[in-house]
Structure 1
Amino acid sequence: MGKIVEFFFDVGSPAAYLAWTQLPKICDEGGGTLVFRPMLLGGVFRATGNASPVSVPAKGRYVELEYGRYARRYGVPFKTNSHFPIITLHLMRVVTGMQIRHPERFHALLAVLFKAMWVDDLDLNDPVLASRTLSEAGLSPEQVDGLVNDPQIKEALKAATEEAVTRGVFGAPTTFVNGEMFFGQDKLDFVKEALMV
Structure 2
Amino acid sequence: MSEVTFYFDFSSPYGYLAAERMEAFESRVGVTVTWRPFMIGAAFKQTGQSPLLSQPIRGTYFRHDMERCARLQNTPFHIPENFPYAALVPTRAFYWLESRSPMLARKFAKDIYRGYFADGLDMANPENVFAAASRHSINVSEMRAAVENQRWKDHTRTVTEEAISLGAFGSPFFFYEDEPFFGNDRLEQLAQWISLRKETAGSQSD
Q: State if a TM-score over 0.5 links the two structures.
A: yes
CA contact (8 A) 1:112 1:137 kept: no
SS in 2 for 1:33: strand
Q: What is the distance in 1 between the residues matched to 2:14 and 2:164?
A: 18
Corresponding residue number in structure 1 for 2:204: none
Report which structure shows greater RCO (CA 8 Å, sep ≥6).
Answer: 1
| 1:59 counterpart = 2:58 | yes
How far off its partner does 1:101 sit? 3.0
129-138 vs 16-25, which moves further: 129-138
1:50 and 2:49 correspond = yes
CA shift at 1:178, angstroms? 1.7
The structure 1 segments of at least 4 consecutive aligned residues displaced by more than 6 Å after TM superposition are: none
Corresponding residue pairs, total: 196
- Amino acid paired to 1:88: A
- Give the Cα separation in 2 of the matches to 1:63 and 1:138: 36
Within a 5 Å distance, the mapping from 1:131-150 to structure 2 comes to 131-150=130-149
Change (3 A) 1:83 1:191: same
After superposition, the C-alpha distances for 1:149-197 in whole angstroms (9 at most, x for unaligned) are: 2222222211111111111111111011222101111111211111211
Deviation (angstroms), 1:51: 2.0
Residue aligned with 1:101, SS: coil
Query: In structure 1, what is the Cα distance between the partners aligned to 2:182 and 2:35?
Result: 15
Shift in CA distance, 131/45, structure 1 to aligned 2, threshold 3 Å: same
Which residue does 1:173 correspond to in 2?
Answer: 172
**Separation in structure 2 between the aligned mates of residue 145 and residue 133 of structure 1, nearest angstrom:** 12
Give the alignment of 1:104-183 within 5 angstroms.
104-183=103-182
Provide the C-alpha distance between the structure 2 equivalents of 1:7 and 1:85, rounded to a whole number of angstroms: 20
Secondary structure at 2:34 match in 1: strand
- TM-score, normalised via structure 2 length: 0.87
The residue number in structure 2 matching 1:31 is 30
CA distance in 1 between counterparts of 2:158 and 2:108 reads 21
Q: Tell me, in whole angstroms, the C-alpha distance in 2 between the residues paired with 1:179 and 1:157.
A: 22
* AA matched with 1:111: K
1:107: Cα distance to partner?
A: 1.9
Q: Which secondary structure does the structure 2 equivalent of 1:66 belong to?
A: helix
Structure 2 unmatched runs, 5+: 197-206
Q: TM-score, normalised by structure 1?
A: 0.90
| Structure 1 residue 36 displacement after superposition | 1.0
Distance in 2, Cα, partners of 1:173 & 1:3: 19
Q: CA RMSD in A?
A: 1.8
Report the alpha carbon displacement of residue 141 of structure 1 after superposing the two structures with TM: 4.1
Q: Provide the residue aligned with 2:187 in structure 1.
A: 188
Kindly state the Cα deviation for residue 111 of structure 1 after the two structures are TM-superposed. Answer: 2.1
